[in-house]
Amino acid sequence: MKKYIAIILFVLLGQIAVAQTPYVLLVSFDGFRWDYANRGLTPNLDAIKKEGVSALSFKPSFPSITFPNHLSIITGMYPQNHGIISNYFKNCQNEIYSLSDTAAVRNPKWYQGEAFWETAKRNNIKTASYYWPGSELTDTNRRPDYFKAYNHTEPHQKKIDGVINWLTLPQSERPHFITLYFHDTDSQGHKFGTDSREIDSTIAVMDSLIGVLRKRIELIGMKDSVNLIILSDHGMTNVSEKRDIDLKSLLDGFDCEVNSAMSLTMIKPRFDKDLPRIYDRLKKSESHYKVYFREEMPEYYHFSQNPYIFPIILIPELGWSFYSYRAGDHKSNAEHGFDNNQIDMHGIFFAVGNKFKNGYKTGTLSNVDVYPLLCEIFGIFPRKNIDGDIERIKFILK
């Protein structure tokens, strides 16, 4: 009899624990610059600013690129430490990681950090992801309990429906942490620029999705239960052909590999003897960019302690780009990947829910601090090797 009573108590305690576990929905608007929310186009974000927490800006890690920063947000680590140093790079065996290569993106060996859904899983918290870099790994222990394979053209309504479906699962099956991703402000920003009618229209559409999402959450009776965090991975700045740097001419006569993303660019000579010669030429011609040996990178970038980083690193001035290493015509009107201390590279951070303060405005927050924030909300221990610091962000919680 005592055995059965013990079993019943164990089950009841488990149900109570599940019922008391918070809900967090983490939403990313790719490329949503810090000031896009100040254009009078975002009534739903304005409402969250009054009801919850809003930051002046949200500082990305360097480089200010999509995949590295989504991993920094979800692991609390700088790219040099979580391993995803760019959207495209090679390891020491010349194997390639590329966001367009599904097999590579799903291969666990590239990911050195522990994503929050891994930490949550170890603490018996169910998680889900409607898109997030690193959420589709082939190792089932390293991905969310529920996830969707990325589909760039999937309708927004279907994504929202998917989130609501997860939140209405039976309590024992329901995820308490969910990620949701939208690419639109990044795609339209690149195509049309940051001051275009097209980007303004996209900003308004993204904001309307927040309204739809909050209304749907209210209709399922979870308005007071779900903590909503809305952020972006990086900002955006306009570029033009008039501000192109002809890197091909600068490297003329040298045999070297160039990993260029228009902004951050890395160079590896084929022959070691050419390394100082290439550096000297780039240094003497230094105009509208800075050149560094990897080991001389300023500490504030946190971008030197990884073997996949090439020996020479170039960082252009904001709005200048190494266009000559891209194929075809000048296809982009705006770019990111620049110095993450530049305000144009900053994104947004808004949060609302029973865990967050009301009507609280703060200064700039750092994206590596989101992982420890999530751990604090769920009352679980973060990994000890992270770069994030709960003391830099804990004050936004009640």
> How would DSSP label each residue in 27-70?
EEETT--TTGGGSS--HHHHHHHHHSEEEEEEEPPSS--HHHHH
Decide: 202 and 184 in contact? Cβ < 8 Å.
Answer: yes
Residue 390 exposure: Cα atoms within 13 Å on the Cβ side: 14
For 216-249, write each residue's pLDDT tens digit.
999 999 999 999 999 999 999 999 988 999 898 9
Q: Which domains does the chain have, with CATH numbers?
A: 22-238+342-396 (3.40.720.10), 241-331 (3.30.1360.180)
The type of residue at 313 is: I
- Identity at 57, one-letter amino acid code: S
pTM assigned to the model: 0.93
Q: Are β-strands 360-366 and 256-260 bridged in parallel, bridged antiparallel, or unpaired? A: unpaired
pLDDT the model gives residue 5: 47
Question: Catalytic residue positions?
Answer: 66
More confident residue, 200 or 321: 200
Mean pLDDT of 192-197: 98
Q: Which residues contact 259 (CB under 8 A, 6 or more apart)?
A: 86, 88, 89, 90, 265, 266, 267, 268, 310
Give, as one character, the DSSP assignment of residue 321: B
Confidence at residue 1, expressed as pLDDT on a 0 to 100 scale: 54
Residue 309 CA to residue 104 CA, distance in Å, equals 18
Residue 3, pLDDT above cutoff 60: no
Q: What pLDDT is attached to residue 332?
A: 86
CA 259: distance to chain centroid? 21
pLDDT digits (tens, 9 = 90+) for 298-330: 999 999 999 999 999 999 999 999 865 444 445
Q: If you average pLDDT over residues 339-362, what whole number do you get?
A: 98
Q: How confident is the model at residue 146 (pLDDT cuts 50, 70, 90)?
A: very high
- Region of 261 on the Ramachandran plot (φ > 0 left; ψ -120 to 50 alpha; else beta): alpha
